[in-house]
Amino acid sequence: MKGANFYGAGFPYRDIQQLPGKLIVLEGTDGVGRSTQIKLLRRWLEDEGYAVSDTGLTRSTLTASGLEAAKSGHTLGPLTYSLFYLADFADRLENLIIPALQAGFIVLSDRYFYSVMARDAIRGVDKSWSRQLYGIALRPDLILYMKADVPVLAQRLIHGRGLNYWEAGMDLHLADNVYDSFLNYQTLLTKQFDELAQAYNFITVDANQNPDAIFEDLKAHILELLHNRLTKTKKPK
Amino acid sequence: MLKPNTTKGKLIVVEGIDGSGKSTQIDLLFKWLQSQGYSVFFSEWNSSPLVKSTTKAAKKEKSFTPTTFSILHCTDFADRWENSIYPLLKAGAIVLADRYVFTAFARDVARGVDPEWVRNMYSFAIKPDAVLYFRVPLEVAVERITAARASLKYYEAGMDLNLSENINESFKLFQGKILEQYDQMVDEFGLTLIDGTQPVKDQQKKVRALIKKILRGWEGLPNPNKPAGSARPAAETGGKS
């Protein structure tokens, strides 16, 4: 088999040959600074002459409005929630990530499915069930796990966009206020992430540092990947 | 694979290709069980209020791939499962389902999705107490559907698979593939075959006999709205009332 490299079943009805592009994933919990870094990385890579595409959770147009409506109600159960995210993931993978990789792009993914797994596991969703479902996923070329201490995350969010209901895991009734709930919830998430880091070979980057220092670390790992294996794809004028 | 039913309720499902007559039969069964004084509820494939609008839009835009088609139908099922089917079974009701996981196993695999993958996706569901599989030859089903409908829909005809440019031809080929999958599941899941070419009344007689056997000696959730003159005494009224 010299086709594309999936974790499991993939898409058996499609013939997907080896993909010339590179799939780079940034993972990490809420408030760790992923989107800031994606912006910086994208600019840097494009300056270097690479064609870049980026994607992130819930950006599929197939599911975006339905998922948002479902999340704003109070009847969304954990399995339904999980499957909605799977649909979002599958749609972006088939219709965006794979075509971009076929065209030789570098795809920067703001989270992949690991975040969803971590979140679902805390809500009692069976882990082996999730693992098999995400057998449709491509193995990324690089998974950079931005890891920060929970108090650092809280501090950044409070001074940034604030603490929100889902990021604080308020649906789990872990505490009587959003701050304590955030601390409890993110601690649980970090535990799940540490487990996933082992299972899926994440490269851990210290995200307690300032954004510039994090950027330098991320760049170093990406350069190593690109210099080892990628032939440059110039962006068409 | 599917979980054993450890709830107090009873789960009865009908399966079969389009035009097999299963909806007619489950409707008659539902009314009969009601008239017998049972607490009986009905759940239909692809009817979750939370997911329906997403599925509808994607069908209209023709933006499904076999995988996203499969996942969103399971999302719909999961919502009905979490909010309706499972709690009702826990309460001790009879739940009748017009199509269940086997519909997904047949259709999605016919579309080329991995059989093990889709079986895992639905593995949170309970194995029904009865799966009535209404089997009709392909020609009969196609004849019934084309006679009853002005036009076929894109996905129900499997037009996304490029089997044929002619929608009637595509429908026939696609239903044939689905039929094949159903037939393979008879042994895998112990489906009960009902000959869907028999007169409606005869089929219903068989269906009721089968369900009677399943409900013999069983006491589910009492129904406070039991119809007058109901044949079956409500469970909570032990003697005189």
Summarised one tens digit per residue, pLDDT across range B61-98 is: 999 999 999 999 999 999 999 999 999 999 999 999 99
Please, are residues A107 and A101 in contact by the beta-carbon 8 Å criterion? yes
CA gap B21, B15 in Å, rounded: 10
Q: Is residue B4 part of a domain?
A: no
Please tell me the distance from the alpha carbon of residue A122 to that of residue A119, in angstroms, as a whole number. Answer: 5
Whose CA is closest to B25, among B34, B36, B13, B11?
B13
Q: Are B71 and A90 a contacting pair at CB < 8 A? A: yes
Would you state the pLDDT for residue A234? 47
B-chain CB neighbours of A80 within 8 Å are 48, 50-51, 75, 78-79, 82
Q: What is the spatial distance between Cα A90 and Cα B220, in angstroms, rounded to a whole number?
A: 41
Across the A:B interface, residue pairs with CB atoms under 8 Å apart total 100
Q: For residue B77, what are the CA distances in angstroms to A12, A41, A202, B73, B198?
A: 23, 40, 34, 6, 31
Q: B230 in a domain, yes or no?
A: no
What is the domain-level CATH number for residue B31?
Answer: 3.40.50.300
- Domain residue limits at B176: 10-209
The CA-atom distances, in angstroms, between A70 and each of A169, B52, B125 are 16, 11, 21
CA atoms within 13 A on the CB side of B23: 6
Lowest mean pLDDT among A82-96, A174-188, B75-89, B220-234: B220-234
Phi/psi of residue B117, nearest 5 degrees = -60, -45
How sure is the predictor about A2, in pLDDT bands with cuts at 50, 70 and 90?
low
* Closest-approach residue (CA) in chain A for B108: A13
Interface probe with A: pick from B120, B126, B163, B177, most Cβ of A within 10 Å: B120
**Quick one: closest CA in A to B59, which residue?**
A62
Give the C-alpha separation, A15 to B229, whole Å. 63
Q: Is the ipTM of this complex over 0.85?
A: yes
Å from B55 to nearest chain A CA?
9
Q: Decide which of A191 and B149 is more confident.
A: A191
pLDDT grade for B235, boundaries at 50, 70 and 90:
very low
Is residue B150 one of the residues assigned to a domain? yes
Q: Cβ contacts (< 8 Å) between B107 and chain A: which residues?
A: none
Identify all chain B residues contacting A11, using CB atoms and an 8 Å cutoff: 65-67
By Cβ distance, the residue of A66, A75, A95 closest to B83 is A75
Q: What is the per-residue pLDDT for A229?
A: 55
Residue A75 sits at the chain B interface (C-beta within 8 Å): yes
**Residue by residue, what is the 3-state secondary structure of chain B?**
CCECCCCCCEEEEEECCCCCCHHHHHHHHHHHHHHCCCCEEEEECCCCCCCHHHHHHHHHHCCCCHHHHHHHHHHHHHHHHHHHHHHHHHHCCEEEEECCHHHHHHHHHHCCCCHHHHHHHCCCCECCCEEEEEECCHHHHHHHHHHHCCCCCCCCCCHHHCCCCCHHHHHHHHHHHHHHHHHHHHHHHCCEEEECCCCHHHHHHHHHHHHHHHHCCCCCCCCCCCCCCCCCCCCCCCCCC
Q: A117-171: per-residue pLDDT in tens?
A: 999 999 999 999 999 999 999 999 999 999 999 999 999 899 988 898 889 999 8
B169 in a structural domain = yes
- Summarised one tens digit per residue, pLDDT across range A42-63 is 999 999 999 999 999 999 999 9
Q: Calculate the CA dihedral of residues A68, A74, A79, A85 and round it to 10 degrees.
A: 10
How far apart (Å, rounded) are the C-alpha atoms in residues A141 and A129?
A: 24
Q: Which tokens belong to B114?
A: 């991995």
**Mutating which of B46, B52, B59, B75 best tests the A interface, going by the most A Cβ atoms within 10 A?**
B75
> Would you state the CATH architecture of domain A22-229?
3-Layer(aba) Sandwich (3.40)
Residue given tokens 């994440």 in the structure block? A202
Q: Is B232 within the bounds of a domain?
A: no
Amino acid at A188: L
The mean pLDDT value for B44-49 works out to 95
pLDDT at B78: 98
Cβ–Cβ gap B71/A62 under 8 Å: no
Contact B120 A87 (CB under 8 A): no
Q: Is the pLDDT of residue A93 over 60?
A: yes
Predicted TM-score (pTM) of this structure:
0.93
Residue A17 pairs in a beta bridge with: A3
Chain B nearest-CA residue for A91:
B68
Contacts of A87 in chain B (CB under 8 A): 54, 68, 71-72, 75
Best mutation target among A7, A63, A89, A113 (most B Cβ atoms within 10 Å) is A63
User: How many domains are contained in chain B?
Assistant: 1
